[in-house]
Structures are given as structure tokens and as C-alpha cells.
Amino acid sequence: PSKTVLGQDYAFPNGTPLIKAFQFTLGPGEKTSLHKHAVPLLAYIVSGKLQVDYGSRGKRSFSPGQAYIEAIDWCHTAHGAGTEPVEILGFYLGQQDPDETAPEPCDSEN
């Protein structure tokens, strides 16, 4: 995709690239904390159903086999929306110094 899930343009960070992969599982009904991402994050849904709440920008649902670029610098939460765990593969596209790939907590919604 050439834009994030919220229609934002994005660019790869300058500097020495760092691509960091991770696997994340949310149980049925389990919810993440309110957080945001500073760099592009490609998320791929392996199994289960995921719903992401972007506050004033609405909610989006994702099913197995779907991939999307997560919102950048926009606070959101995600939860397992189905009856089985949600397995997500994620790929952060950041830079090595500083390492910007960790999600950042939000004090409040946007």
C-alpha cells in the first residue's frame, strides 16, 4: 500500500535502515493499551479477526490474509474481535540510531 490505513502518506526513515520483525498474539477480547507508532509498520493478519479503534477516525477490521500499513503518530487500540486468538506478523521500517520501532504509549486519544 502507498498510504497508511488512515490514508496518510509515509516515507522510509533516513539514516541506516532497521527492519524489525515481530509476532504478536491477542486472545479473544484481549485489548492493547492506547499507543502509536513513529515509523511505518506493515501488519499481516495470520489468523483470527482484529479490530483497531482509531478514535475520531473510526474503527477498522482485519481478517486472515489481510495486510495494512498501520497509522503513524495516531493513537489507537486493537483487540481480538473473534472467538479465536489473533496472530499478527509485523515489520517495522525504522532506522538503527535511534531505534524508533517500539510502540509509544499515549496519554490520551488524538
Instruction: Give per-residue pLDDT as tens, 65-84.
Output: 999 999 999 999 999 999 99
pTM, entire model? 0.90
Instruction: Give per-residue pLDDT as tens, 84-99.
Output: 999 999 999 988 887 7
Q: Which DSSP helix (H) or strand (E) runs through 90?
A: strand 86-95
Integer CA distances (angstroms), 61 to 19, 66, 75, in order: 25, 10, 16
What's the start-to-end Cα distance of the chain, in Å? 24
Residues 6+ apart with CB under 8 A from 50: 26, 61, 62, 78, 79, 80, 81, 86, 88
- Amino acid making up residue 71: A
